[in-house]
DNA sequence: ACATTGACCTGAGAGC
DNA sequence: TGCTCTCAGGTCAATG
């Protein structure tokens, strides 16, 4: 990856649920079933609850059997029964490569698994806000972390239950991983744009119809992002994500201009025409 | 329960 | 050209 490519992907890649789902599919189609010959920890700071020595010992000889995603976490089951836990922070991603192949080692590798077949699986995380760890059990990990239900797996009733009694602003509520897991800054904006709800609206002010609309919009948004392989250029018309910049014309064609506001300390994009005055 | 602020982290881009 | 400043955002902790 050259510098320009690196810069571009840094701008675009902010791993939320759809991004991690793509990572899961990538892992499932590349690095499974090969014994791990050696584990290289290049950045100890990203390890959580485990030393480099322990991680290497637990991975040595083990095979990655299948990946599972919960919210923004990727949990990889080993044939030994334990799980490798990966969180991608803001800038993390995976790459499967070998010497002389078309893909090369990326620029900020924090963990590198050397596999028996000569290929390597890199966990790259430029800004070190990600996390690598081990878990004995995936369900218990999710519970102990206090994660809410996965945003894509939860049913309509479960979503409505999660909002019940909430009084905070809707955007930070969607982003609260304890309430539902997987939604971050970008996709909360997108779902709210699709549902035509101002991000600053209190959940308490949303009537039943608006809550259902939000739930459907969130599901639609996440599924669309995955189908587009999180590439902004592949998103269908009418999506905000490819036009997350101040002054862009409303993707829905209402004539409004996209504006940036700050909600709960985060930059939020919305269309004043479609999403009300707030 | 909820809001706010700051810390963590690195690199890009702006402004001087 | 090179410096300083701000910003990006996932998560956590402290404070109101």
Q: What are A13-66's pLDDT values in tens digits? A: 689 999 999 999 999 999 999 999 999 999 999 999 999 999 999 999 999 999
pLDDT tens for each residue of A107-119: 999 999 999 999 9
Question: Residue range A258-277: average pLDDT?
Answer: 89
Q: State chain A's mean pLDDT as an integer.
A: 92
Is A276 a residue whose pLDDT tops 80? no
Percent with pLDDT over 70 in chain A: 95
**What does the DSSP 8-state code read for residue A187?**
H
- Contact predicate A50/A111, CB 8 Å: no
Q: How many Å from the CA of A117 to C1' of B9? A: 34
Query: Which one from A24, A72, A120, A196 is the annotated catalytic residue?
Result: A72
Q: Which residues touch strand C (CB under 7 A)?
A: A 14-16, 71-72, 87, 89-90, 127, 129, 145, 175, 177, 184-186, 260, 266-267
Active site residue A15: yes
Neighbours of A240 (CB within 10 A): 25
Q: Among A31-45, A62-76, A121-135, A253-267, which is the least confidently predicted range?
A: A253-267
Q: Among the listed ranges A10-24, A134-148, A197-211, which one has the minimum average pLDDT value? A: A10-24
Query: Region A66-89: what's the mean pLDDT?
Result: 97
Q: How confident is the model at residue A277 (pLDDT cuts 50, 70, 90)?
A: low
pLDDT of A246 reads: 87
Is the pLDDT at A8 greater than 60, yes or no? no
Percent of chain A with pLDDT over 90: 88
Quick check: A120 CB within 7 A of strand B? Answer: no
The whole-number pLDDT of residue A3 equals 34
- Give the confidence band of A121 by pLDDT, cuts at 50, 70, 90: very high
**How confident is the model at residue A13, as a pLDDT?**
63
Instruction: Return the H-helix or E-strand segment holding A192.
Output: helix A185-195
Residue A97, C-beta contacts closer than 8 angstroms, at least 6 positions apart: A103, A104, A105, A119, A120, A122
Q: How far is CA A208 from CA A92, A163, A213, in A?
A: 37, 11, 9
pLDDT of A6 > 80? The answer is: no
pLDDT of res. A14: 83
Say what the pLDDT of residue A265 is: 87
For A116-196, strand residue ranges (E) read: 120-125, 131-135
């Amino acid at each position: 990856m050259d510098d320009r490519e690196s810069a571009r992907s840094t701008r675009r890649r902010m791993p939320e649920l759809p991004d991690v789902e793509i990572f899961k599919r990538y892992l499932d189609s590349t690095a499974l079933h090969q014994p791990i010959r050696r584990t290289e920890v290049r950045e100890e700071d990203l390890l959580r609850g485990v030393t480099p020595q322990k991680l290497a010992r637990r991975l040595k000889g083990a095979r990655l059997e299948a990946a599972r995603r919960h919210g923004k976490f990727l949990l990889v089951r080993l044939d030994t029964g334990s799980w490798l836990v990966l969180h991608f922070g803001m800038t993390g991603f995976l790459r499967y490569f070998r010497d002389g192949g078309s893909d090369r080692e990326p620029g900020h590798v924090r963990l590198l698994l050397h596999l028996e077949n000569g290929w390597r699986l890199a966990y790259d995380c430029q800004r070190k806000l990600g996390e690598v760890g081990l878990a004995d059990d995936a369900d218990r990990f999710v519970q102990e972390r206090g994660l809410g239900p996965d945003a894509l797996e939860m049913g309509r009733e479960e979503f409505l239950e999660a909002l019940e009694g909430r009084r905070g602003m809707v955007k930070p509520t969607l982003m609260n991983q304890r309430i539902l897991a997987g939604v971050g800054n970008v996709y909360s904006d997108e779902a709210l744009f699709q549902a035509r709800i101002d991000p600053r609206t209190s959940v308490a002010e949303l009537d039943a119809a608006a809550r259902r609309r939000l739930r459907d919009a969130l599901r639609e948004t996440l599924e669309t992002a995955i189908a587009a392989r999180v590439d902004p250029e592949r998103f269908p018309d009418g999506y905000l994500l490819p036009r997350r910049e101040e002054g862009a014309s409303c993707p829905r064609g209402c004539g409004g201009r996209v504006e940036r506001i700050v909600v709960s300390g985060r930059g939020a994009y919305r269309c004043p025409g479609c999403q009300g005055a707030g």
